[in-house]
Amino acid sequence: MRQDEAARLRREYEAGGLIEAEMASDPFEQFREWFDGVVEVELFEPNTFVLATADPSGRPSARAVLMKSFSADGIVFYTNMSSRKSRELKQNPAGAATFVWLPLHRQVRFEGSLTPVDDSVADEYFASRPRGAQIGAHASPQSEVVQSRDFLERRYAELDESFGEEVPRPDTWGGWCLQPSSVEFWQGLPNRFHDRILYRLEGDAWSMERLAP
């Protein structure tokens, strides 16, 4: 696709705007309201978000992951704790998460710090996963160079045969919780004159302010 062709891919957003007085005082209450609405309209994997991290030199990287829970403590996802994202977070525990729900012309952006979830929480979630996903967590040296797909398939088959009915959580697998210091709600509107409402954590309370589109 040429640049001029990409530039013509425009679509006007017709949804209603954001009014501060109608939004929750807590961003997680507001997020729950939006997320429940996304689930209700049955968007595909609405818990997908793009996680951005950076190494100690500031070089960024981003990838899509799946949120598995959220609360006032933050949003939680699970991964290999030796993966690139985890290595970067251990060195620089700052990150950003962006949910994009295009059919609703909405996105939510979280920025904050990340900490590992407790082992007991990771154990409980791992036990709830399908057996195939459990074995995959053991078989994949995530983010590492491997010799071939065949190597991975053989490793998976060997582990599948060696494990009994219960598959333990690998020591290299766990979860991260992003605890935000800011949360932005973005609503697409006509003429690219979008609404943006930003929550900032100030001490123990959240403030709210409007950003220009």
pLDDT tens digit string along 167-207?
999 999 999 999 999 999 999 998 888 999 999 999 999 99
Phi, psi of 40 (to 5 degrees): -65, -35
Q: Is the full-model pTM beyond 0.85?
A: yes
DSSP code, position 57: T
Q: Which domains does the chain have, with CATH numbers?
A: 9-126+176-211 (2.30.110.10)
* Residues belonging to the chain: 213
Report d(CA 83, CA 87) in Å as an integer.
6
Q: Do residues 89 and 53 make contact, with C-beta atoms less than 8 angstroms apart?
A: yes
Catalytic positions: 192
| Three-class DSSP category at 15 | coil
* pLDDT per residue as tens digits for the range 125-144: 999 999 999 999 999 988 88
Q: Report residue 48 as tokens.
A: 């997908």
- What is the amino acid identity at position 20? E
